[in-house]
């Protein structure tokens, strides 16, 4: 092994060279600053946890700190970190770590701090990682990094009890807001922007946000912005951190209703929303919610995109729970399935238990609406649906209904109808769809019947979403000490 020339812990020259005998192995410019982020090492000794702060790096010799150099270590201030000042008579020294099998830099310099008293004074007990700031001037600073989850959780516990239920809802048309407020949440901010579609003849970009406004009693901030262009840092300046963030990324690219060819075409023309999780994660990063709720179609959860979102949330320090929920398990009338992700800085969240299935005939629940529903039996789309088996209908024996979709107002072959005992098919309109989806309390008076049906067709289902949000509420109250957990 060639001997590497020693270097001092004094202000460095512009470049540093590593030599073996008369041969220069390599040269590099000495940077003004090198940083590294490392986790604090822990071990169990004598029944208690000991913490160690260790840096073993080839960057130390680059900055002028070689094995054998001595230094003093002291706390900057309680909980504010450490400073290492190099001193020929210092009480600590840099050690040498050798790797016999490594060809590239077989010798590393290692700083090993193990004084429990010093670490406990300088680094808060909840800290998981530290940042090393190494300069060539003989000073190294070790700073505690904020534990994101701990900081967010502590901030939420310091809020008033009522304020712990504040929420920001993004990608909303108001349905989720109405349901959340029904369960005790207070939505203070909302973001939505309906993109222009080829069939639109007027500007409909505000329709979803307008409907959100009339369904949120306490909304203070409305952002009619495309989420791909939204400046979440500016939004944070307005809203502050939020306890709860509810996200419903566009589901078209994960739905079985969209063909592979259509998905590929949307990627080419930039109309795809597959990457909407990227700005959603930016929203999480900036708004620092204690709990994040994400809603989408079941295929989202097993897709690479959905898995990346869960992975990123875990990297941010959240405890992530996910499940595909089925509306009938919570008393819902439709067969709607939805994937939900709940990411919390507090451990222990569990999805809600099933509450029992509906036993009432759906036809009876729609009885008052039947005289109003249009008879579409003789339309070509319905006849084609019947001929191909794609027609979906409710009859006098149904205790569950097919789930309505965004395309319901266009009366496609697979639109949901009511088949009367006489064999006639009645079109399920917006108000009737509300009954099926458990959304009777949602206000849609300010939008057209087409937009109303579209909003309902792509919304969350009332009883199922309500059960989830009740569980989220109880989870927050229990985690912040408001009361014991009540599993629903």
Burial label for 59, CB within 10 Å (0-12, 13-18, 19+), is middle
Distance CA 455, CA 238 (A): 28
Domain hosting residue 410, numbered range: 362-437
Q: Are 375 and 245 members of one domain?
A: no
pLDDT of residue 162: 85
Q: Are 24 and 113 members of one domain?
A: yes
Nearest to 450 by CA among 211, 241, 151: 211
Q: Would residue 174 count as lying in a domain? A: yes
Q: Are 205 and 136 members of one domain?
A: no
Q: Would residue 199 count as lying in a domain? A: yes
Residue 389: other Cβ atoms inside 10 A: 9
Q: What's the CA angle centered on 60, arms 141 and 26, to 5 degrees? A: 150
Which residues lie below 8 Å from residue 26, measured CB to CB, with a gap of 6+?
17, 18
Q: Are 141 and 155 members of one domain?
A: no
How many domains are there within the chain?
3
What is the mean pLDDT for each group of 10 consecutive residues in the chain (488 residues)?
39 68 81 91 84 91 89 94 94 79 64 93 91 92 90 91 94 95 96 81 88 93 95 97 94 62 66 84 97 95 94 94 97 96 95 95 95 94 91 95 85 88 93 95 90 88 97 94 46
Q: Are 410 and 289 members of one domain?
A: no
Q: Which of 102, 129, 145 is the last residue of a domain?
A: 145
Q: Are 203 and 302 members of one domain?
A: yes
Q: Are 268 and 171 members of one domain?
A: yes
Q: Which of 97, 117, 145 is the last residue of a domain?
A: 145
Full-model pTM: 0.83
CB 192 within 8 A of CB 219: no
Q: Are 329 and 388 members of one domain?
A: no
CB 152 within 8 A of CB 290: yes
Q: Are 313 and 351 members of one domain?
A: yes
pLDDT of residue 1: 32
Residue 387 sits at φ, ψ, to 5 deg, of -65, -35
Q: Are 318 and 381 members of one domain?
A: no
In the block, residue with structure tokens 């408001």: 482
């Amino acid at each position: 092994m060639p001997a590497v020339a020693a270097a001092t812990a004094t202000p460095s020259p512009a470049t540093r060279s590593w030599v073996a005998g008369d041969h220069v192995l390599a040269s590099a410019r000495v940077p003004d600053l090198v940083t590294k982020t490392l986790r604090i090492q822990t071990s169990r000794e004598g029944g208690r946890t000991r913490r160690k702060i260790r840096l073993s790096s080839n960057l130390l010799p680059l900055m002028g700190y070689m094995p054998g150099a001595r230094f003093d270590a002291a706390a900057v201030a309680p909980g504010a970190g450490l400073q290492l000042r190099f001193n020929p008579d210092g009480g600590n020294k840099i050690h040498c770590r050798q790797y016999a099998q490594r060809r590239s830099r077989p010798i590393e310099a290692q700083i090993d701090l193990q004084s429990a008293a010093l670490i406990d004074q300088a680094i808060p007990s909840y800290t998981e990682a530290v940042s090393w700031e190494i300069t060539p001037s003989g000073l190294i600073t070790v700073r505690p990094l904020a534990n994101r989850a701990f900081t967010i959780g502590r901030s939420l516990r310091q809020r008033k009890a009522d304020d712990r239920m504040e929420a920001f809802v993004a990608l909303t048309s108001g349905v989720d807001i109405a349901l959340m407020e029904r369960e005790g949440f207070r939505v203070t901010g909302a973001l939505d922007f309906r993109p222009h579609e080829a069939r639109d003849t007027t500007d409909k970009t505000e329709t979803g946000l307008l409907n959100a406004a009339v369904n949120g009693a306490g909304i203070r901030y409305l952002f009619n912005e495309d989420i791909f262009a939204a400046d979440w840092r500016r939004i944070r300046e307005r809203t502050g951190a939020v306890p709860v963030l509810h996200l419903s990324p566009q589901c078209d690219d994960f739905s079985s209703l969209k063909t592979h060819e259509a998905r590929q075409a949307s990627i080419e023309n930039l109309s795809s929303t597959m990457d909407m999780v990227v700005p959603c994660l930016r929203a999480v990063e900036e708004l620092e919610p204690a709990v994040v709720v994400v809603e989408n179609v079941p295929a989202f959860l097993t897709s690479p995109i959905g898995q990346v979102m869960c992975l990123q949330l875990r990297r941010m320090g959240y405890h992530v729970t996910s499940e595909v929920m089925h509306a009938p398990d919570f008393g819902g009338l439709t067969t709607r399935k939805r994937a939900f992700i709940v990411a919390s800085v507090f451990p222990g969240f569990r999805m809600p238990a099933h509450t029992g299935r509906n036993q009432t005939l759906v036809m009876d629940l729609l009885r008052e609406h039947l005289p109003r529903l249009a008879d579409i039996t003789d339309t070509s789309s319905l006849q084609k649906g019947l001929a191909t088996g794609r027609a979906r209908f409710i009859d006098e024996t149904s205790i569950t209904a097919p789930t309505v979709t965004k395309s319901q107002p266009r009366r496609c072959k697979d639109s949901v109808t009511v088949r009367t005992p006489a064999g006639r098919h009645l079109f399920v309109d917006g108000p009737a769809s509300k009954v099926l989806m458990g959304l009777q309390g949602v206000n849609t008076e300010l939008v057209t019947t087409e937009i109303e049906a579209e909003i309902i067709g792509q919304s969350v289902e009332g009883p199922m979403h309500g059960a989830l949000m009740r569980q989220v509420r109880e989870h927050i109250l229990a985690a912040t000490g408001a009361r014991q957990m009540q599993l629903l």
